[in-house]
Amino acid sequence: MLPALAHVDTWIFDLDNTLYPASADLFGLIDQRMTAFIARLLDIDLVEARAIQKGYFREHGTTLSGLMQAHGVDPHEFLAFVHDVELEAVAEDQRLVRAVAALPGRKLIFTNGDEPYARRVLGRLGLSDSFETIHDIHACAYQPKPNPTSYAAMCETLRIDPRAALFVEDMARNLVPAKALGMTTVWVNNGSEDGDREVDRGAIDFEITEVGAWLDEILEGNAA
């Protein structure tokens, strides 16, 4: 293990565009369904619906958060609709499976999605049994990343010492609250939409392009 990571006993991973490549564009399918949901909800065309969707995403952290605040949308209904997508673009990644299994300590998922969807994706990746728990948007009381209260609440609920935790995420701005708590942070800079928006270099300890390759590297260092 790299000396800078010797203190880490809890490994926290984002899901979408982090544990699989952004090039899979799974979020693109979800994005289309979010636009369709808004168009149906507000009885507007897709162009206007998309503009509203992106505005909510940027202002509230997630489209869902904006819809809940502005329109009282049922989060379960919304999430079930937008996550009803095919997952063929996501393939099993045995290198990632082996690397995650070899990590010492606890392994967790922290996602703005919901647990049923996360479990489907993890199953496609071969990671169904790799994580202790999934801390999803319901567990966050619908306060999405990068809301600092969700990070603090997760640490309290799951008894995580942030100073001994590492957080891996493709959205650079989502690392800022983690770093403020004392976590070691890893930015997966792989071209995901808005991934490089509001980059704070002071909140990034490691910048990588692929999780599996990076974990292999640090584990090889540990073996050496």
DSSP 28-84: HHHHHHHHHHHHHHHT--HHHHHHHHHHHHHHHSSHHHHHHHHH---HHHHHHHHT-
Contact (Cβ atoms closer than 8 angstroms) between residue 159 and residue 191: no
Between 27 and 133, whose confidence is greater?
133
Longest distance between any two alpha carbons in the chain, whole Å: 61
Rounded CA-CA distance 192/22 in Å is: 5
Residues 6+ apart with CB under 8 A from 40: none
Q: Does residue 220 have a pLDDT over 90? A: no
Separation CA 126–CA 110 (nearest Å) = 18
Cα dihedral 144, 145, 149, 151 in deg (nearest 10): 130
Q: Dump pLDDT digits (tens) for 182-210.
A: 999 999 999 998 899 889 999 999 999 99
% of the chain at pLDDT higher than 70: 98
Q: Please state the rounded mean pLDDT for residues 73-82.
A: 96
- Boundaries of every domain in the chain: 3-22+91-223, 26-82
pTM flag (> 0.85): yes
Q: Are 145 and 110 in contact (CB under 8 A)?
A: yes
DSSP 142: T
The answer to whether the Cα torsion of 210, 108, 146, 15 is positive or negative is positive
Q: Would the pLDDT of 167 be above 50?
A: yes
Bridge partners (DSSP) listed for residue 11: 107, 166
* 137 three-class SS: coil
Whether the predicted pLDDT of 224 surpasses 60 = no
Q: Is the pLDDT of residue 100 over 50?
A: yes
17: tokens are 């565009």
Measured distance CA(206)–CA(41) in Å, rounded: 41
Q: Report the CATH number of the 3-22+91-223 domain.
A: 3.40.50.1000
The CATH architecture to which 26-82 belongs is: Orthogonal Bundle (1.10)
